[in-house]
Chains A and B, each alone.
Chain A
């Protein structure tokens, strides 16, 4: 699927490969607990429940606020308590950290989240 992005692909201030594994795709559905809207990357925090109801805390890196702003995001696009689905790639260090390729917003729209993966086409 194609999503629209500023430069035609990811916005990255650093190498994706330094931190994330492009072979480990992940899809997370959960409740947003915080959105950090700051350079060099936004961070989304979410609580993800497993089948037993246990909650795991995840954090996902998105693009820079500047590029996201020009693509229609704002710091008010998401708020704590929103149900979101994030698709992206896992961090190499084994922590519950991901690089967010896209976020499915509460209204059902999926938008490009600015992953630094050079393969993260819009």
Chain B
């Protein structure tokens, strides 16, 4: 019996030699820009969070979501087989993009920060120079950032309400106010915190906290969601009716 257990393990270890287990990022202090602000640039490996209630490696979830009555109904009545916007390659929105499995590249200067998601080759760019929110409702929402000491705080509102928080489909409304905090704790890591404040869906704000890991050995790759989306074309995934 023991032999049967050992053989698959050996196979798994052989595969892990290709991949990520045991990876150690470079060490050193957090780098800074010429203006003295922390430099968040890099390609970052993030925990894939298909369900924001779950806790796992580098991810602290919120086990019990404080649904309002409306929010609980939205969650209870969600059935992905009746309409799956992400499966249809529509924009994930900012919360679900932050939960996506593929890497994220961050770039910045003194006026803007750009989040470049490998997932579906989407980007999200926002000012950090004190400008107010624009009055535009979008899939990703409208973000403005500012520095709170060495932490970049990203404040996002004006969501269109057509997206879901995560892959499993936890709901939010167009009243969502999302706050993200990025702190480069050292060369190899970002401490990340996201707060979901949506009074239509939840009775109080709640958080997830995560750790991102620098991957200087990775480069972003193209990801065309539309190229071979057979499941949509063959009718197994349906476009939601909004």
Contacts and interface: CB of A to CB of B under 8 A. Distances in A.
Interface in B64-89: 80-81, 84, 86-87, 89
Given A6-B48, A108-B11, 14 more contacts: A4-B16, A4-B18, A5-B19, A8-B56, A12-B48, A13-B119, A15-B84, A15-B168, A39-B223, A41-B231, A72-B18, A97-B234, A111-B15, A112-B15
B50 A71 contact: no
Interface residues of B, number: 51
At the interface, is chain B mostly helix, strand, loop or mixed?
loop
Interface of A: 1-15, 17-19, 36, 38-41, 43, 59, 61, 64-67, 69-72, 91-93, 95, 97, 108-112, 116, 118
Interface string B7-36: 011011011111111000000000000000
Contacts, number: 148
B87 A15 contact: yes
B237 interface: yes
Interface of B: 8-9, 11-12, 14-21, 45-48, 50-51, 56-57, 80-81, 84, 86-87, 89, 100-102, 118-120, 167-169, 218, 221-225, 227-231, 234-238
Contacts of A65: 221
